[in-house]
Structure 1
Amino acid sequence: FNVTGKIFLVTLLPFLVLRTLDWCLPSCRRYVAGGRCKSTARLEGKVVIITGANTGIGKETARDLARRGARVIIACRDTAKAEAAASEIRAETGNQEVIVKKLDLADTKSIREFAERFLAEEKELHILINNAGVMLCPYSKTADGFEMQLGVNHLGHFLLTFLLLERLKQCAPARIVNVSSLAHHGGWIRFHDLQGEKCYNRGLAYCHSKLANVLFTRELARRLQGTKVTANALHPGSVYSDLVRHSFVMTWLWKIFSFFLKTPCEGAQTSIYCAVAEELESVTGQYFSDCQPAYVSPRGRDDETAKKLWSVSCELLGIQWD
């Protein structure tokens, strides 16, 4: 290049870079955001329970369903944060039927008390969204001695669903939505060390619990055939939230790459889709991501493991669920 050409290139290059970014970044962001729930279904007269709805995708799911007119029960351990979230949602949507009830999924006594209060105070239940979860916890146990991630993510929701199922059947058609994760691909059910007492890795423990969600959904759907109560699982995507708070490294990475993560509103779309989409009224036992069917790992399709996990879960919780 001659001097004139070099000057022209240096002058033009920043403009070209900016124009390229201006074109690429929105496209990249749309890809990250994934699918959106396009259903316009209204939910007046419907009662919904969402666990862990004081923050993240649970809160955004509650906001959307409240906007559709549902009576939304926010079930959380931290009632102060839950009340703040409920107040915000009521003010924004104009729906005053957003209620907080205390629920600690790490304590079966709390789960039973929640279910007892709910069944005494509410006559209907149409949608149960098992959304709450913990991730990458250092080794710890629930009040009942279960490894924390398995105890909260799987066993807590397993018991809650058991206690509320008859009410769902009475109000059918009804839906159960289990928030799982793409991480289920890395999990397996270690029946010989289910509580991680012999060997524990916090990342793998999370994967195991998310696989348990998928297997629970599969077996639950099979058992609910003919009841008009459906059960589906989903992957919300990689969402920028406080779920990774137990890992300094993941928290740091989440901040650096936040542009490539879904917002809580974007992450809530598949939960909302599974809860309201008209085309899913009779669809059950499936797994979704970005508001469409997604691939399930071979371990997540193992019916024998699903049945055994069901039996072991009942034994651990001291219930009979035939």
Structure 2
Amino acid sequence: MWRESWRELSHPLGFVNLAMWLFSGRCRSRARLDGKTAVITGCNTGIGKQTALDFVRRGARVIMACRDLQKAELAAEDIRALTKDVEGAGRVVVMRLDLASLASVRECARRLLETEQRIHLLINNAGVMACPKAVTEDGLEMQLAVNHLGHFLLTCLLLPRIIRSAPARIVNVSSLAHMAGSINFDDLNSEKSYSATFAYGQSKLANILFTKELAKRLKGTGVTTYSLHPGVVATELGRHFDSTYFWGVTWLFNNVASLVTKTPEQGAQTTIYCAVEESLAEESGLYYSDCKKTRPSAKARDDETARRLWEESARIVALGDWDPCTAEDSAPPSAAP
């Protein structure tokens, strides 16, 4: 800790970074992940990469499920270099996953089920934020597709294997921005109107409601679920700000807002906490921020909305009558929507 602090102090914003460490939550668990397999989405950069690095240091086999294989391989090489001298370090492998394509999600799940006999941790980390209106190849609004529906389908397809691997945990990276969102069942796909900010808030609210409903359906299986706000983090997530709002917003976020934003390592702490903290083993379906349990918005606590969102999501991704929470650990349905 002191070595890290002195390194940060040598940076021009060193005292700011150190202050963020002092006032931000930090995962202090020394739990090992030897023999455990973790799947992390969108982890070639930012808090996902830091989460992968932490898990490898703890001894886990980490599957980096990313859209851009070249960037993911470079990130994997960085992690291997940083952990080459760490005693008991785990391994990292790369697998392609494009959450904007339900076909890619199904293919990634198929490969994971072929290669991984156990999946102990699923970290649904990938996301897009406040992007201009875009529609995926499946005709879905981009933010809803990537942030929620792609992760919903991936989780469901892997769920029988995760249940077989219990005790296991599923962690969904949400955001404080969920407070600005609501689930608009009359226009879930933003076909009637589109607001980049609302669509993002809706998708992040969906993350929390999914976590809540999943916890209810998994009760008694040994699989627990968690959602979280990582904080305002200096990552590439704000790359669409200029095109969505006005020119210069990205520069302001990257330069001025950096005075009060977390580093990716700091931003990853609550994800890591939810994944490894021993005291959370009996908690499920709750929401966390700065490594402590936090109360989300009233909309995020609505049982009926959570149930209805599950059913609507299952319909959109074409799960049919297949129930991933009770299904045998065998080949999941392969029908495309």
Q: TM-score, normalised by structure 1?
A: 0.90
Structure 2 letter corresponding to 1:61: T
In the TM superposition, structure 1's runs of 4+ consecutive aligned residues that sit over 6 Å from their partners are: none
More helix as a share of residues: 1
Cα distance in 2 for partners of 1:107, 1:304 equals 28
- TM-superposed deviation, 1:30: 3.9
Change (3 A) 1:209 1:26: closer
Structure 1 letter corresponding to 2:298: P
- TM-superposed deviation, 1:281: 1.1
Q: Deviations over 1:21-54 (max 9, x none)?
A: x9x95775345x5110000001110000000010
Change (3 A) 1:120 1:199: same
Change (3 A) 1:321 1:234: farther
Q: Deviations over 1:172-217 (max 9, x none)?
A: 0000000000000010001111111111010111000000001000
Q: Deviations over 1:112-157 (max 9, x none)?
A: 1111111111111000000000001110111111100001100000
Determine helix, strand or coil for the equivalent of 2:132: coil
Change (3 A) 1:121 1:26: closer
Cα distance in 2 for partners of 1:142, 1:250 equals 26
Change (3 A) 1:259 1:284: same
Partner of 2:20: 29
Contact 1:76 1:100 in 2 (8 A): yes
Cα distance in 2 for partners of 1:305, 1:311 equals 10
Q: TM-score, normalised by structure 2?
A: 0.86
Cα distance in 2 for partners of 1:235, 1:96 equals 27
- 1:1-322 matches, within 5 Å, as 28-30=19-21, 34-94=24-84, 95=89, 97-248=91-242, 249-254=248-253, 255-319=255-319, 320-322=321-323
Change (3 A) 1:96 1:84: farther
Determine helix, strand or coil for the equivalent of 1:193: coil
Query: Rg bigger for which structure?
Result: 1
Cα distance in 2 for partners of 1:315, 1:49 equals 25
Q: Deviations over 1:40-86 (max 9, x none)?
A: 00111000000001000000000000000000000000000000000
Contact 1:314 1:321 in 2 (8 A): no
Structure 2 letter corresponding to 1:212: A
Cα distance in 2 for partners of 1:212, 1:72 equals 26
- TM-superposed deviation, 1:251: 1.4
What's the RMSD between the two structures over aligned residues?
A: 1.5
Aligned residues: 299
Contact 1:90 1:96 in 2 (8 A): no
Cα distance in 2 for partners of 1:104, 1:301 equals 30
Contact 1:47 1:126 in 2 (8 A): yes
Cα distance in 2 for partners of 1:225, 1:276 equals 19
Cα distance in 2 for partners of 1:267, 1:25 equals 15
Q: Deviations over 1:83-103 (max 9, x none)?
A: 000011011112461000000
Contact 1:270 1:290 in 2 (8 A): yes
Determine helix, strand or coil for the equivalent of 2:186: helix
- TM-superposed deviation, 1:282: 1.5
Cα distance in 2 for partners of 1:228, 1:98 equals 25
Cα distance in 2 for partners of 1:184, 1:26 equals 26
Contact 2:172 2:211 in 1 (8 A): yes
Change (3 A) 1:93 1:203: same
